[in-house]
Homo-oligomer: A and B are copies of this chain.
């Protein structure tokens, strides 16, 4: 059976889990504590990052966007989109989340509130949280604008743009950081994503001692 090396609260890993589930690929999850820098894991991926996917033919595929492109080329259900223009737009938005959102939110709010505790580096820094929340507002407004003006984030098809955004949002929402009342179009869009079978498993992950808000895995929130 295929394997996915992952971390439950890595947005890039959630993105891949959803995309694999949308393609009905069955796989086993292996949690990889990347900060331990195990030699055998570094031999799989010299960058030392998750996700890494090993398929049934033992092909190793490192990194979220590489796994997505591989799925697109080898599975029936294209998540990148059916036409040239939506393929450019869904990839642009995926990269927005892989790079910009990751730099501005994962490295601030998620690092301070989740990772710091995991690796024993103390309490969240209030100044960094403040910067992260300011950034988050801009991202949420952008998602809200896209959801208001389009059926799905990249256009009229459900694509990897939606999956990337939702994977990231799910982690921030676990931390109770989103005031959904301010973003009604984004809220409707996220409710549609939450109702997909591919997404249900993601919402079951919990951090011991740090529970999500009550509405976290409700479809109606």
Picked from B62, B73, B95, the residue with its CB within 8 Å of the CB of A92 is B62
Asked if B84 contacts A59 (CB within 8 A), the reply is yes
- Tell me whether A46 is interfacial, beta carbon within 8 Å: yes
Chain B hits for A59, CB < 8 A: 84-85, 88
Alpha-carbon gap, A59 to B74, bound state (A): 26
A70 contacts B by Cβ under 8 Å: yes
Give every chain B residue within 8 A of A142 (Cβ-Cβ): 46
**Interface pair A63/B84, CB less than 8 Å apart:** no
Of the listed residues A63, A70, A85, the one surrounded by the most CB atoms of chain B closer than 10 A to its CB is A63
Q: From A45, A91, A100, name the one whose CB has the most chain B CB atoms within 10 angstroms.
A: A91
Kindly list chain B residues whose C-beta atoms are within 8 Å of the C-beta of A30: none
CB distance from A219 to the nearest CB of B (A): 30
Question: Is A88 within 8 A of B100, CB to CB?
Answer: no
Q: Which listed residue (B62, B66, B74, B92) contacts A66, Cβ 8 A? A: B92
Closest to A146 in B: B46
Chain B residues, Cβ within 8 Å of A88: 59-62, 66, 70
* A96, B66: Cβ atoms closer than 8 Å: no
- Using A46-B142, A85-B59, A88-B59 as known contacts, say yes or no to A95 and B73 having CB atoms under 8 A apart: no
A49 to chain B, nearest CB (A): 9
Determine the residue in chain B with the shortest Cβ distance to A69: B91
The residues of B that contact A74 with a CB separation of less than 8 Å are 84
A87 on the B face (CB < 8 A): yes
- The contact string, 1 if C-beta is below 8 Å from chain B, for chain A 72-104, is 011000000000110110011001100110000
Let me know if A135 is at the binding interface, CB within 8 A: no
* New A-B pairs, 4, CB < 8 Å, besides A65-B95, A66-B91, A70-B88: A63-B92, A65-B91, A66-B92, A69-B91
- Which residues does A use to contact B, with CB under 8 Å? 45-47, 59-63, 65-66, 69-70, 73-74, 84-85, 87-88, 91-92, 95-96, 99-100, 142
